[in-house]
Structures are given as C-alpha cells and as structure tokens.
Structure 1
Amino acid sequence: MNHIETYLPHRPPFLFVDDAHIEGETIIATHTFHDDDWFFKGHFPSFPIVPGVLLVESMAQAGGVGAKLMGIYPKSLFMFAKIKEARFKRPVRPGDTLKMEILNVRASSVFLHQKGVGKVGDEIAVEAEWISISSGVPE
C-alpha cells in the first residue's frame, strides 16, 4: 500500500509504517529501520538498536492504519491510554525490517484495544498489548 500518510497523522521522522494491509482479521504491516534513523546515534552508539518504546509505537501506528482499512475511523486523534503488556525478545538493528501482525481485541470510533507481534525474519522481536482512546483533539 502506498500513501500511509493518508491514514496516519504521524510524519517523518516519527512515522514507523511503510506498508500495511489486511489478511482476514489480521493487520499486516512492515517498517524497515535505516542506519541514519535519528535514534541510533544515541541508542546505543557502539551497538545501535531500536528503542523498545518505538517498537510498541510502530505496532500502534500499524494498528491505527489497519483500523482505518477495516472501516474504524476515530472521532478524533487516537492516543495511547495504556500499554498493558510489552515483551522484548530480540534487538531490532539498523537495516532490519519489522513485520507486524496486529489484532483488534475491541475496537470502535472512541476506543482501540489491540495486541500484536513484531518479527524480524522468523524471530519474534516484540509482543505487546495496548489501548488507545479518541483524544478529543482533531486528527
């Protein structure tokens, strides 16, 4: 899919979805992290890895795109209300492509409860569950 920016308010350098589509009930999305991404300069210079919070952010952004592809449009900008669970199983490094698989646990125009897995190749890098709510701020 092209035009991810038509589905998300995020913009570079804080846009972490390159492509997204729906397979059955699952949102499938990808993002490739590049050597020159801003956070690698300080996290950690001798062993650069994607910060865990940005992996969860990537999955939440993918979930937002997927919700819209499924016809779920927020009344206003969705923002994190809670990150219920997050587990980090392997580092994501410059050049890695994160493949995200997101499921809606419960979804409406005011509330998104989602969970997902992010993989590099066949290895799970991150698993998380989160809740986003409609903020009242126009998108």
Structure 2
Amino acid sequence: MGTTTYPVRPGARRMPLVAVDDVRAAGKGFVGRKTIDPGDPYLRGHFPSLTVYPGVFLVESLQQMLEVHLDGALGGVELVELGSVRFSRPALAGDEVVIEAEVDGDRGRLVTKATCSSGGQRLARITATWRCRP
C-alpha cells in the first residue's frame, strides 16, 4: 500500500510552536515525526537538571499532525476531550518523536488513538476527541 507524505506548510496556527516536521498517511490514520531541537527556548528550565520535552507538547504535536493530515479538508480541529493520556518515559532534547495515530469519527467529531515513541521506546499513549471546525 502506498503512502502519501503531506507538506508541512509554514505559518498557519502552528507558529510559534512548530510541533511537527512531517506527516504521512498510514492505514486509517497517519504517522508524524518531530525532532526535539535542544536550542528551542521552551526547553530552557524544563527541568534544569534534565531537559524534558513538556508532555502537553505531545498533545499539541498530535493536533498539528492531525490538521496536516486533514490537509485543509476542514477548518481545523479543536480539542474536546483527552480521554486518556499515559506517559511512559520522557522525551528529551535531540529525540525524534514518532506519533502513530488511528483516526475515526463522524458528525463533526474525530477520535485519535495515538502512540508516541522515540528510538523504539514508547513515550506516551493518547486518546483524544476533536471537534471539526467548518
């Protein structure tokens, strides 16, 4: 089965936090990647002795990847509910985070079930519901 790689358009809602490097269609969803830049200002002081990518940024990455995956078919998505979020290990500066997500939905709502990993190690699992903007 072929895959489609979606261009990540600069600008849009993503600025100033660009939480996605690339996204490609896969099965009933998508696979996206984000390399955590150690020079990004939001990492300073989070935490001073161990630079950790804030967990909420994984949720932001999921949203940005979903919007790129939809490629303008909707006016974007808004988070309605975090059904579950389970962090297994921290994402660190320099890590390439891979988010694999299944997307399902109807009547203006989408549900994503995502696994975040780096180097083959699971970082988090996220189940979220999104409202589709017209």
TM-score normalised per structure 1: 0.82
Pick closer, same or farther for the CA change 1:3–1:125 going to 2, 3 Å. same
Q: Secondary structure at the match of 1:17?
A: coil
- CA-to-aligned-CA distance 1:45-70 (integer Å, 9 cap, x gap): 211101111111112221222233xx
Name 1:49's counterpart in structure 2.
52
Q: For residues 21 and 91 of structure 1, do their structure 2 counterparts lie closer, same or farther at Cα, with a shift above 3 Å needed?
A: same
- Cα distance, 1:116–1:31 mapped onto 2, change above 3 Å: same
* Separation in structure 2 between the aligned mates of residue 102 and residue 58 of structure 1, nearest angstrom: 11
| Corresponding position of 1:82 | 81
For 1:78-121, what per-residue CA distance to the aligned partner results, in whole angstroms no more than 9, with x for missing partners? 2111111101001100000001101112156x322111011001
Gap change, CA 1:21 and 1:42, over 3 Å in 2: same
Q: Secondary structure at the match of 2:115?
A: strand
Q: Distance in 2 between matches of 1:58 and 1:20?
A: 11
SS in 1 for 2:82: strand
Unaligned 5+ segments in structure 2 are none
- Give me the whole-angstrom Cα distance separating, in 2, the residues matched to 1:15 and 1:111: 24
Mind listing any 5+ residue stretches in structure 1 that lack a counterpart? none
Contact persistence 1:13–1:38 (CA under 8 A): no
- Give the partner amino acid of 2:111: H
Find the residue that maps to 2:63 and give its secondary structure. Answer: helix
Tell me the matched-pair count: 130
Say whether residues 1:5 and 2:6 are aligned partners: no
Quote the RMSD (CA, aligned, Å). 2.1
Matched, 1:134 2:132: yes
- Matched with 1:62 is 65
Percent identical among aligned pairs is: 25
1:10 alignment partner, SS class: helix
Partner SS state of residue 94, structure 2: coil
Secondary structure (helix, strand or coil) at the match of 2:52 reads: coil
